[in-house]
Structure 1
Amino acid sequence: MAAPSPGFSERQRRLLEAGVRVVARAGLRGLTHRAVDQEAGLAQGTCSAYMRTRLALLTRLTEYVVHRLAADIDALTADLEAHGVDPDHALRATSAVLRGWLRDPDLLVARMELSLESTRQPELAVPVRAHGERLVHVVEHAVARAHPAWTAQETSLRASTLVAALDGVLLRSLREPPEGRAAGLEAAVGLLLEQLVAARP
């Protein structure tokens, strides 16, 4: 996983990691300053000293979660570019990133919870949207290289559809026993890449 941003102090990182665990265990309803302090093993009032309101806590937590995932996406982009048009490698590389995310299920659950909350809280929508756009850009680039004759509109549609479908695959994988997640994930990713990135008949 990506290292925390220099924009997060050591104390903030400790609080936000605790926030991730609280959200994964109790949902956003359970995310309070008191719960974060308790989970982090810090004195009551510490979290509110850094993030005074609930909205500030939600916003900073969203930024932190998105940042934790961003370096993986950047690394995947560079990897796919280095290997050119290679569907087999794209499958392996994409599956490896998703398997890595599944090994940190608390972070993945927190991202999904915060993504839903961003539909109600405009302040959260900016980092969530940026995260989604980053993923779509990776797929758009790969599809455009494989099918340069496709229009930008078709490439974008296929890329955004694939990213949305992968979110569903991750959610399903979280509900499966840990020992069966890797095989199911790779099969689903392979099917999606085959169907959504395949040439038109």
Structure 2
Amino acid sequence: MVRRNDQRRSELLDAAIEVLAQEGARGLTFRAVDKEAGVPAGTASNYFANRDQLLTQSGSRVYERLVPDEATVAAQEPIAPSSEKFHGLMTDLIGRLTSFRSGYLALLELRLESTRRPELRAVLTERVRADIAYNVAHHEQSGLPGDATSVKLLILALNWLIVEQLTLPEVFDEEERRHLVSEAVRRIVGE
């Protein structure tokens, strides 16, 4: 039996994320993952039973990598809840998401692929719902302005701003993106 270790599995999934971002879902093959990871041919197929499993676990891995560490979360806790603090948190969030460009692009590819793969759709739906519920609960506990609907509207608006920044970065310059984040927070939260 082939010895499988968690570190190698993570490395292969990280390679799959890069392949998804560079080549799209159709380019995600075991051979492409092996090449990206710099491992012998056939390694990925020892860790993943089939391409569907590779796609599904790649989606989970992106989310693992997007979760901020405890220090980042603690630094974001508002001392005095305000719309300015809220704006800062949203700006930091966009920065964190766009700094993992390949992960976000891989998620877009996985979302498109999920329209054809029910198992992948189920995994992504569960994860996105959990993230939204966490963000709403965290927001309500923080005392920041706005309600659950405000949080959901900001998620929707800022996700598309991130897509623009990663796919067509010349549409808005950095100053305009900051202004749009500020206005989204101000108009949606109402302060």
Q: Normalization by structure 1: what TM-score?
A: 0.78
Unaligned runs of 5+ in 2: none
The list of structure 1 runs, each at least 4 consecutive aligned residues, that deviate by more than 4 angstroms after superposition, is 74-81
The residue aligned with 2:149 is 157
Shift of 1:84: 4.3
> Which runs of structure 2 are paired with 1:90-169 in the superposition (5 Å)?
90-129=86-125, 130-135=127-132, 137-139=134-136, 141-142=138-139, 145-146=143-144, 155-169=147-161
Alignment partner of 2:169 out of 167, 176, 179:
176
The residue aligned with 1:34 is 31
Could you tell me how far apart the structure 2 residues matched to 1:166 and 1:193 are?
A: 10
Deviation string for 1:82-106 (max 9, x for gaps)?
4342211121122112112212211
Unaligned runs of 5+ in 1: 1-7, 149-154
Could you tell me how far apart the structure 2 residues matched to 1:13 and 1:109 are?
A: 18
Could you tell me how far apart the structure 1 residues matched to 2:173 and 2:95 are?
A: 8
Could you tell me how far apart the structure 2 residues matched to 1:128 and 1:185 are?
A: 27
CA contact (8 A) 2:56 2:120 kept: yes
Structure 1 residues 127 and 78, CA gap change in structure 2 (3 angstroms): farther
Could you tell me how far apart the structure 1 residues matched to 2:182 and 2:37 are?
A: 39
The 10-residue stretch of structure 1 (55-64 or 83-92) with the greater mean CA deviation from structure 2? 83-92
* Paired amino acid for 2:169: E
The residue aligned with 2:81 is 85
Shift of 1:12: 1.0
Q: Normalization by structure 2: what TM-score?
A: 0.81
Alignment partner of 1:67 out of 42, 64, 69:
64
* Paired amino acid for 2:101: P
Say if 2:51 is the partner of 1:54.
Answer: yes
Instruction: State the identity as a percent.
Output: 28
CA contact (8 A) 2:82 2:145 kept: no
Could you tell me how far apart the structure 2 residues matched to 1:140 and 1:76 are?
A: 18
CA contact (8 A) 1:143 1:159 kept: no
